[in-house]
A and B are shown apart, each in its own frame.
Chain A
Amino acid sequence: MMSKNTKTILKKLISHVIIIAFGLIMLYPVLWLIASSLKPGSAIFSDPSLIPSSISFEHYVTGWQGVGRIHFSTFILNSLVICFSVVVANVISCSMAAYAFARLKFSLKGLWFGIMILSIMLPTHVTTIPRYVMFNTFGWVDTYLPLIAPKLLATDAFFVFLLVQFMRGLPRDLDESATLDGCGKIGIFLRIVVPLSVPSMVTTALFSFLWTWDDFFNQLLYINTPSKYAVSQGLRMFMDASGQSNWGPMFAMSVVSMIPCFILFFTLQKYFVQGIATTGIKG
C-alpha cells in the first residue's frame, strides 16, 4: 500500500506530465512556425522537425524587404499608428461612459444600460454595410478614420461593461470626502475614479491593442492602397504574390508580427486574467 503522501506526489507528477505533454502538442504549430522561419531554403515546409539543421536568417532579410516594393516596416508602422489611436480613443470614451453608468444618476439610466449590454451581443454585420456607405460619403474610405473614429464614440461596448464592473467596486466614501472638499462630479472622475481605475484601463488598452493588431475584416473593408496596409494585410500580400519562395519570408514576418503580442502578454499577464475572468471576454 502506498502512503497517502506518496499517492499525492504521484498524482501531482502525473498532472505535470500530462500538462507538459499536452502543452507541447498545443504549442507545436507556433514552435514549428518559429523553427521553419529559421530553416534555410524554400522546400522546407514539409519538414515537421522543430530543430533547424542550420539556422539562417535569410527569410527575415527577404521578408523585411517586403512585397511589391513596400518595406515590411511600413506595415508595422501603420499598424502601430492605428493601434495606438484606437487604444487612446477606447480608454477615454469607454471610461467616460463607464463612469456615468457606474457612479452617476440620470434619467433613463437603466434603459441605456440594458441597451449597452445588448449591443455587446449584436453581430457587427448588421451595421457593416450602412457604416460603409456612411464613411464612403464622408470620403473616409482608404483612410484610417473608419477604424479609429468609431472608437472615440465607445462603440466597443464590451470595454464599457468591463470598466463599469470595476468602477462599481471602488469605495464610495472617497467621493463623499471629495464632495466636501468642493470637488464636482467631473473632479471626482478625474481625481479619484480615473487614478483608481488604472488596472481596468490597462486591461482595456491591452485588449484594444491586440484585437486591433489582429483585426482583418475592417482593414480589408476600408484600406485599399497597399502602402497604407497594416500588418494583417501586409502578411497576406506574401501569399497573394504566389510562388513557393514566398512562404519563408512570410513565416519570418509572421513571427515578427507576433512579437508585440508576446511582449504585452508576458509583461501584463495579470491584466489578461483579470479582464477575461471578470467579464468573460470572447476570443
Chain B
Amino acid sequence: MKSRRLRPSLADNAVGYLFLAPWLIGFLGLTLYPMIQSLYYSFTQFDMMSPPEWVGFANYIKMFTADKTYMKSLQVTFTYVLWAVPLKLIFALLIAMLMNQKLRFIGLYRAVYYIPTLLGGSVAIAMLWKRLFSGDGAINTILRALGWANPPAWIANPNYALATLVLLTVWQFGSSMIIFLAGLKQIPDEYYEAASVDGAGPITKFFRITLPSLSPVILFNLVMQMISAFQAFTQAFIISAGKGGPLDSTMFYTLYLYTKGFYYYEMGYASAMAWVLLIIIGILTAIIFKSSNMWVSYGSGD
C-alpha cells in the first residue's frame, strides 16, 4: 500500500511499458511521426514520384490568395458546421427530453430513433439520400402532392445541395440524444419539485434547471460534434460523385483535400490544407473551452 507514493520501480516500468507498447509504437510511428512529416510536406511541392521540393510558405500563400476553390471549400464547410452542429444538438436535446419519461415501449422508441445514426454514415444511405432528394425523387412527389408546384431539384441545385447534406447530418442525432438522456437522468427530481413549489413553469424550469445542469454534457457534445463535422467526407463524396458539385456547393474541406492529394497528387498542398484544418479545429476548440467558463456550470450537485 505504501508503495503508492514511491516512484515506479524498474519492474513496474517494465510491465507498464510492455502493456503500453502497442499504443506507444502506434502513437509514435503512425501519429506523431506522420504529423511531423505532413508538416514538412506542407512546405514542399511533392507528387510522390520525385522527392519533396522545399517551397517555403508557397502552399499556404496560394491557398488564401490564389485558390478560389479552396476559399469556397472553407465557406462551404463553415456553413455546414454552423448549421449542422447546433441543429443536431438542439434536436437531440428536444428528443431526449421527450424520451426522458416513464412510458411504455420507451426502450423500443429509443432504439428506433437511433436507427438513422446506426446506418447514416454508410454509402448506402448517402446514395438513398441522393435518390430521395433528386428532382424526380420521392420527396418531390410528396411535395407536389402537398401543393408545391415546382420544388427545387435539391441535390442538383447549388442553392439547396448543402442544405440536403445538413439535413442528412441532423437526421443522425442518435448518439447525442443518448448522451443527453444520460445527462437528464442525473438531474435530481427535487430540483424540479422545488421549482414547482416556487411556481416556476416548464419554460423557466428548462432554462433555470435543465440547461445549466446539462451544460457540461452540451460542451462535450458540441466539441466532439464540431470536430467530426469539419471532417465530413463520405456523404458529400457520394452525393456529388466525388466532384463537390453542383458549382462546388458541396465541396467539403476534406473532399477538396482528397482531390488535391489523391487525384492531382499535390501532396504538399494537401498536407498544408490538413494543417490549416488542424489549426482551425484547435482554435475553435480552444475558444469553446475558454468561453465555457461563462456558460458551463459544474454545480455542486447536492
Contacts and interface: CB of A to CB of B under 8 A. Distances in A.
B173 to A, nearest CB: 9
A277 B26 contact: no
Contacts of A192: none
B141 A186 contact: no
The 4 closest A-B pairs by CB, nearest first: A106-B16, A153-B26, A254-B124, A130-B34
A100 B19 contact: yes
Contact of A131 (B34, B125, B175): B34
B261 A283 contact: no
A245 interface: no
A96 B261 contact: no
Given A130-B41, A283-B121, A276 B129 contact: no
Contacts of A94: 23
B175 A281 contact: yes
Contacts of A30: 115-116, 119, 128
B73 interface: no
A214 B22 contact: no
Contacts of A127: 30-31, 34-35, 38
Interface string B215-249: 00000110111011011011001100100000000
A15 B95 CA distance: 11
Interface string A133-164: 11010000000000000101111010010000
Interface stretch (A42-50, A52-60, A196-204): A42-50
A232 B38 CA distance: 28
Contacts of B21: 96
A153 B20 CA distance: 10
Contact of A129 (B18, B123, B220, B270): B270
Interface string A231-269: 111011001100000010011001101100110011001
Interface residues of B, number: 100
Say whether chain A's binding surface is mostly helix, strand, loop, or mixed: helix
B58 interface: no
A107 interface: yes
Given A26-B116, A112-B24, A216-B237, A48 B142 contact: yes
Given A16-B103, A129-B267, A116 B12 contact: no
Nearest to B15: A185
B123 A125 contact: no
Interface in B156-192: 171-172, 174-175, 178-179, 181-182
Given A19-B109, A265-B115, 8 more contacts: A15-B103, A96-B22, A106-B13, A128-B38, A129-B267, A129-B274, A235-B123, A235-B127
Contacts of B2: none
Given A104-B19, A150-B26, A250-B127, A210 B118 contact: yes
Interface string B110-144: 11111111111111110111011000111111100
A1 interface: no
A97 B20 contact: yes
A155 B31 contact: yes
B63 interface: no
Counting chain A CB atoms within 10 Å of each CB, the highest count among B27, B95, B112, B267 belongs to B27
A45 B124 CA distance: 15
B178 A247 contact: no
A116 B128 contact: no
Contact of B23 (A22, A160, A254): A160
Contacts of A106: 8, 12-13, 15-17, 20
A26 B122 CA distance: 17
